[in-house]
Structure 1
Amino acid sequence: MPLAELHYFSDALGMQTAANVILPNRKFPGPYPVMFLLHGLSDDHTIWLRHTSIERYVSELPLIVVMPNGGRGFYCDAVEGFAYYTAIGVELVDVVRNYFPTTDNWCVSGLSMGGYGAFRLALDRPELFQSATALSAALQFGHQERFDDDQWGREFSRITGPNPIGGKDDLYTKLEALLPDRVPALRIDCGSEDFLIEADRHYHAFLDSKGVAHEYEEHPGEHNWAYWDAQIQPALEFHRRHLGI
């Protein structure tokens, strides 16, 4: 399978940035649906290839996999800082469309910060992203009454503002705006020993309370690559069903 490293200039970031791209086996004729695969807070666009077998898992799928560099920006347009939502959810979509043969059926997956980002992109662009899967996801990000005045709180409040609940980055508010019939297919998956398990259980309960059909699973596991390497496989199967590939 071809593997490309795409370097390009982002107007939203005001800088050069990058994404790794897995292209389908040439036995599959294009055009192709696309999956954005998002990294977590401490990583970059290389990490999925370095710590999982994602290239092998998609080897028999007619699917383009795009792994962008999202920095530490939670895939949001920061109040003070970089506009990562625009950079990835708008600009990179256009770049991929310009350089690769794509269909209009896309999906998105991510872990931790990237799990939040996957739902963020899908809820902001439901006309494009048909399905979204969140692994060990920080789904409460943007839903806090306020941030604590510590290192994490100061960093995150520069992205969302100091009182983010109900605002531009709140996944609860975003989902409610799409009811009753514009919500993409959603899947949440988290390890039972993961420190984000309560956040994911809470969003699962919220989806149930709104009558939103979705998949939710817990498995033994922690916040680590052994878990994500295993669980990206059912996530791909979820996307395969909803994309019809």
Structure 2
Amino acid sequence: MNKILLLCAALMLAAICHASKVDTIGVYSDAMHKKIKCVVVTPDSYEKNDKRFPVIYMLHGYSGNYSQWVSIAPDNVTAADKLDVILVLPDGGYGSWYLDSPVDSSIRYETFVSKELVKYIDATYKTAADKQHRAITGLSMGGHGALYLASRHKDIYGAAGSTSGGVDFRPFPKNWDLAKDLGSYETNKQNWDDNTVMTNIDRLQNGDVKLIIDCGVGDFFIDVNRQLHKKLLEKKIDHDYIERPGEHNGQYWSNSIKYQLLFFKNYFEGK
């Protein structure tokens, strides 16, 4: 069934991206000793000139994969043409939370995304290879991943976003395979504290990374997003924070990502 879904997603990509070029590639991770699949979307203008293009990394949610953004928001993949950017949609594992796990050496998605993948994309594609032209966002687990990675690698990402992000997973110690990544909450509390967005945001000072955060008011993550917003205000870190009607689902994400991609485009252009 998974193979059928992936095939359908690939066919959907081919159908909707008649101008953009869509590649599904395998990038080898030295940290995890395996190839990891990613979708890379280049705009129509990519082959027509020698300019360097900004890159937006888009992270999927828990139990998703590299095709999730395509399946929930297929029209938005054409944003590569509209915004003249490269989109990179990496696989982040079933429930990695984009961490380098302190308890499982096979989970090294922080290293993969922010070091190995960024290095590969910049070496392989015509990218503007600096933080001023690189952004990262994601949904749910990927929203956590985007803010977590941007906080810990502010030299790599100039802008970051989260939609419906699990920005503090400590209130949910029994959910989403988190204990597999971090150990049980009861006996490994320090691991949980060290690897949640809510504490890693302390690494940032105002102006380090441009931030956009949104969450539906009917989402089970709304409270932790509100707490993150409050903390950013207390730290006087500028950010866009949006609440709108919606729940934790594809309908919400397919709408919110439009605003985030425009936010990144404006950032790339210095607006």
TM-score (norm 1): 0.90
Which of 122, 129, 139 matches 2:157? 129
- Amino acid paired to 1:227: Y
Cα deviation, residue 192, structure 1? 0.8
- Identify which of 38, 55, 61 aligns with 1:34: 55
2:90 is aligned with 1:68: yes
Q: Give the counterpart letter for 2:96 in structure 1.
A: G
**Cα deviations across residues 43-70 of structure 1 (Å, max 9, x unaligned)?**
0001111221222233212211000000
In structure 1, stretches of 5+ residues that fail to align are none
8 Å contact kept, 2:183–2:191: no
Distance 1:37 1:95 in 2: 16
| Distance in 1 of aligned mates of 2:152 and 2:208 | 10
Question: How far did 1:177 drift?
Answer: 2.5
Question: Residues of 1 paired with 2:236 and 2:217: CA distance?
Answer: 24
Residues in 2 aligned to 1:74 and 1:157: alpha-carbon distance in whole angstroms? 10
Secondary structure at the aligned position of 1:190 is classed as strand
Opposite residue 217 of structure 1, the aligned amino acid is I
Q: 1:192–1:93: structure 2 CA closer, same or farther, 3 Å change rule?
A: same
Q: Give, in whole Å, the separation in 2 of the partners of 1:173 and 1:122.
A: 13
Describe the superposition over 1:79-106 as per-residue Cα deviations: whole angstroms up to 9, x where unpaired.
1221110011110011101110111120
Mapped partners of 1:189, 1:146: distance in 2: 20
Cα-to-partner distance string for 1:163-205 (whole Å, 9 max, x where unaligned): 14785313233222332x4530111111111111101011001
2:134 corresponds to: 106
Alignment map for 1:64-213 (pairs within 5 Å): 64-71=86-93, 72-81=95-104, 82-103=107-128, 104=130, 105-141=133-169, 144=170, 147=173, 152=177, 154-158=179-183, 162-164=188-190, 167-179=193-205, 181=206, 183-213=208-238
TM-score by length of 2: 0.82
Q: Which moved more, 1:159-168 or 1:72-81?
A: 159-168
User: 2:144 & 2:184 partners in 1: Cα distance?
Assistant: 14
Q: 1:22-53 deviations in whole A, cap 9, x for unaligned? A: 10112565211111000001100011112212
Moved over 6 A (4+): none
In structure 2, what is the Cα distance between the partners aligned to 1:70 and 1:155?
15
Counterpart position of 1:55: 77
1:45 matched to 2:32? The reply is no
User: 2:41–2:88: 8 Å Cα contact kept in structure 1?
Assistant: yes
Q: Is the 8 A contact 1:116 1:137 kept in 2?
A: yes
Unpaired runs of at least 5, structure 2 = 1-19
Please give the alpha-carbon distance, in whole angstroms, between the structure 2 residues aligned to 1:68 and 1:94: 13
SS at match of 1:42: coil
Identity %: 28
Task: Give the number of equivalent residue pairs.
Answer: 241
SS at match of 1:234: helix
Cα distance 1:22–1:234, how it changes in 2: closer, same or farther (>3 A)?
same
* Cα offset, 1:109, TM superposition: 0.8
